[in-house]
Amino acid sequence: MAVGTYALTTLSNLKNWIGITSVDDDVLLEASIDRATSIIETFCDRKLKSRTFYEWCEPGGQKTMTVKNRPITAVNTVSFGSKHAMTVSSDTSSTDVLATISNDGDELRLRKVASDGTTTTATLAFSTYATTSALVSQINSSVSGWSASLAENAYSRAMYRFAGRGVIDVTGTIDVAYDNVSNYRVDFESGEINIGHDAFPTQFISNRFPRGFHPVFVEYVAGYTTIPADLEQVAIEVAADLYRERKQDRTITTESLGDYSYTQAGVAELLEGRMGQLDGYREIR
């Protein structure tokens, strides 16, 4: 086992802090790091280590919108609008009792239930099939019981998300955000994107992002390539608390021996104290 790709500290740094040199508890320590990372990111309401995000935003017709994660280090595309990209249909619709298609942003999912109750599911990951042309080709060549047709070769991840769309009686049409914004400004630290003058279709308000349900697709890179020292220190301390707390008897909070007594803090209290150090990283929405 190893710590997760987006862990906020390393096994070596945690062991140095605790003062452990043996490898006996490495698995426990690595799990503590991953849990500490999850606790911190949940508290901060954002992902903190650098990665690529595929996000659908709802700017509400404003000139400026804010993505969920920061700091931004790169924006690959900002797009919206709607254009038919591909269609999908079941070749066994006459005997299907259920046939649906779904797109969760990471993969296209084709699921059907036959008349005898047999369920089959095919998934096509966008990391493998990056274009609608590649998706259509794979469906037609390798996914039994389904067929697809290409309307527009487009970026697969820019297809609008949906779930459980029935295709027994109709052909499923999948739309893509096709209009790539060419003039916008970015505040890399705050995660704000501001639209400038651009040539938009007439149905949109000039120089504004469109209204609607998550109409704007943004692919961007955000987070820290190098974790700030104060943030990593909190991660180390939270992971250390989790690791040490496993040996505590949680039913005992206070013990006395003669004139000596002590009260031990539970992990919840320890975590609460650590979280106060993260105010500068916490997202307030």
Q: What is the DSSP string of 30-81?
A: HHHHHHHHHHHHHHHTS--B-EEEEEEE--TT-SEEE-SS-SEEEEEEEEE-
Which residue, chain included where needed, has tokens 């120089």?
207
Residue 285 has a pLDDT of: 65
Token readout for 7 is 């862990």
Q: What's the DSSP call for residue 19?
A: T
DSSP state of 107: E
pTM: 0.85
Rounded Cα gap, residues 158 and 219, in angstroms:
9
**According to the model, what pLDDT value does residue 179 have?**
84
Q: How far apart are the first and last CA of the chain?
A: 35
Cβ(105)–Cβ(157) under 8 Å? yes
Apex 122 CA angle, 174 and 87, nearest 5: 20
What's the one-letter identity of residue 194?
A: N
Tokens standing for residue 233: 């220190």
Place of tokens 């630290």: 189
Task: Please give the Cα distance from 170 to 125 (Å, whole number).
Answer: 24
Q: What is the pLDDT along the chain (285 residues), one digit of tens a residue?
A: 689 999 999 999 999 999 999 999 999 999 999 999 999 999 999 999 999 999 999 999 999 999 999 999 999 999 999 999 999 999 998 999 999 999 999 999 999 999 999 999 999 999 999 999 999 999 999 999 999 999 999 999 999 999 999 999 899 999 999 888 888 999 999 999 999 865 544 445 567 899 999 999 999 999 999 999 999 999 999 999 999 887 655 544 555 555 554 444 455 666 677 787 888 888 876
